[in-house]
Amino acid sequence: MTLKLFLLRHGQTDFSRANRFCGEIDPPLNAIGLRMADAMAEKHGADPWTAIYCSPRTRALQTATPLSLAAKVPIQTDDGLREIAYGDWEGLTHDEAVARYPEAYEYWANDPASHGTPGGETAFMVAARATPVIGRLRERYASGRVLVVSHKATLRVIVCSLLGMDVRLFRERIAQPVGALTCFDISGPDARLTLHGDVSHLPADLRVLEGT
């Protein structure tokens, strides 16, 4: 038996459009992000989903809701799927963080996996709460199609974990555009990446956008 685990990053927000640090703050999807959510539902709403799990953040819930309604599968939230917390840098651009916190920025940039932002989390802290969520899903669902809707950094960490990669590589090696879908086929202890960063469900004008 095989579990098809789909990982979906939420749609665009004004903060992702401007490439601002956005973890614990909770902006909604913008108009483009709402279109992305609707496009996901239009493409995959008729698929036989077994379960939908989601970060409790508004932008993730707004992304999951159209698909949930189309598929008639309820959303289950899990706090372990929330985005990495950026502490004092929440809402700042990278240039603003450099200007205000030059030493802290250099420290973080040298190893963003184990060096957190001031008052924020490290990637290892995210791994400690997010990977057990995936572990529970693997135990609960031996087969079927399960969707996880989460955030850029959190999904990068999860992908590293499933691939057996060092979490320190989460920013360097793993991309996860807004609205993009990644899939693993999971059978017992094995997890095989079958799709990564796919945006084919999005309208052509939403597949390549500025921002992150």
- 90 within some domain: yes
Mean pLDDT of the chain: 96
83 classed as catalytic: yes
Q: Could you report the per-residue pLDDT of 76-117, keeping only the tens digit for each? A: 999 999 999 999 999 999 999 999 999 999 999 999 889 999
- Residue 212 above 90 pLDDT? no
Burial zone of 59 (CB within 10 Å; 0-12 exposed, 13-18 middle, 19+ buried)? buried
- 210 within some domain: no
- 185 within some domain: yes
Share of residues in the chain with pLDDT > 90 (%): 95
With both helix axes pointing from N to C terminus, report the angle between 123-140 and 152-163 in degrees, rounded to the nearest 10.
Answer: 60
172 classed as catalytic: no
- Annotated catalytic residue within 10, 44, 151, 201: 10
Please tell me the pTM assigned to this model.
0.96
- 212 within some domain: no
- Which residue segment(s) compose the domain that 66 sits in? 3-205
Structure confidence at residue 139 (pLDDT): 97
Burial zone of 11 (CB within 10 Å; 0-12 exposed, 13-18 middle, 19+ buried)? buried
Question: Which CATH number is 66's domain given?
Answer: 3.40.50.1240
Number of domains into which the chain is organized: 1
Q: Which residues, at least 6 apart from 45, have a Cβ–Cβ distance to it below 8 Å? A: 66, 67, 69, 70, 71
- Annotated catalytic residue within 24, 44, 83, 90: 83
Q: Could you report the per-residue pLDDT of 107-156, keeping only the tens digit for each? A: 999 998 899 999 999 999 999 999 999 999 999 999 999 999 999 999 99
Q: Could you report the per-residue pLDDT of 28-71, keeping only the tens digit for each? A: 999 999 999 999 999 999 999 999 999 999 999 999 999 999 99
